Amino acid sequence: MVATETKHQTDLPNGGVAPTRAGRAVLSAAAVQSTALGAELWVAADTLITPLAREEAERRRITLRVGDVPAASAIPAAAPAPSPDASRTVAVGADHGGFELKTLLKAYLAELAYTVTDVGCFSPEAVDYPDLAYAVARLVADGRAAAGIIIDGAGIGSAMVANKVPGVRAALCYDLSSALNSREHNHANVLTLGASLIGPGLARQIVKTWLETPWGGGRHAKRVAKIMQVEQRFLKS
């Protein structure tokens, strides 16, 4: 056992802490991404913490603790709540083509007990989708929203824009299977929808499925980590 979040020890392979060829454990960004915002993550003293994992911990306000796991009596009953607590906050945005569907989905998100941060647009007048997609993606990347939903005519352009923002994994979903897969396998944190391609009933089902599907971790963790490593190569160039 090489790592733990607050009280719980994390075993391989689901924790995302993998042994190197020399037997030394490595804490990956994927493991940090699966840790709750504002929590503590304990790792063994000889664990190699990758630069990407440290960046992800800082972004998610996660405190990395190195050393032996303290006794249960020495650990607070609960990790301190992040400030502000974004765990139930969903950022939403749409261009004029998605304005009507956004309005409907905002009400639905409220029914599901989510807090909604609406970046616009606020009327059916023509606007440029890149501006709204960037605004949503930035809230997610900064940790001010746990997830984002962007709506335009087809959902394609908004996904392209959102995926330019470091830390964002945006997925265009058009049915329940793609919604489930994008969360469980790809750890998507932004959903894009095409208002001209799906109706409001299906849109609600996709949103609910997408938000309620947990990240699978396990064998998927190293692949998501590689997605983020590609991003880091260009950030460092």
pLDDT tens-digit readout, 37-84 = 556 677 777 888 888 888 887 776 677 877 654 443 333 332 223 335
pLDDT at residue 210 in the model: 98
Confidence at residue 151, expressed as pLDDT on a 0 to 100 scale = 98
* Pair (208, 112) in one structural domain: yes
* Domain boundary, last residue among 80, 112, 142: 80
Q: Alpha carbon of 49 to those of 6, 7, 52, 64, 143: distances in Å?
A: 17, 20, 8, 9, 21
pLDDT at residue 33 above 80? no
User: 3-class secondary structure for the chain?
Assistant: CCEEECCEEECCCCCCEEECCCCCEEECHHHHHCCCCCCEEEECCCCEECHHHHHHHHHCCCEEEECCCCCHHHCCCCCCCCCCCCCCEEEEEECCCCHHHHHHHHHHHHHCCCEEEECCCCCCCCCCHHHHHHHHHHHHHCCCCCEEEEEECCCHHHHHHHCCCCCCCEEECCCHHHHHHHHHCCCCCEEEEECCCCCHHHHHHHHHHHHHCCCCCHHHHHHHHHHHHHHHHHHHC
pLDDT tens sequence across 84-116 = 567 899 999 999 999 999 999 999 999 999 999
pLDDT tens column, 129-188:
999 999 999 999 999 999 999 999 999 999 999 999 999 999 999 999 999 999 999 999
Structural domain boundaries, residue 113: 89-212
Q: Are 207 and 105 in contact (CB under 8 A)?
A: yes
Percent of the chain with pLDDT over 70: 77
Say if residue 94 is in the same domain as residue 202: yes
Identify whether 8 is a catalytic site residue: no
> 70 and 93 in one domain?
no
**Which pLDDT does position 16 carry in this prediction?**
45
- Tell which wins on pLDDT, 170 or 29: 170
For residue 102, tell me if it sits in a domain.
yes
Do 204 and 126 share a structural domain? yes
96, 185, 187, 220: the catalytic one is: 185
Give yes or no: residues 15 and 65 share one domain: yes
- 120: in domain: yes
Domain count, the chain: 2
CA distance 17 to 11: 8
CATH number at residue 116: 3.40.1400.10
pLDDT for the residue 232:
85
Site of tokens 């160039």 = 237
- pTM recorded for the entire structure: 0.66
pLDDT at 20 over 60: no
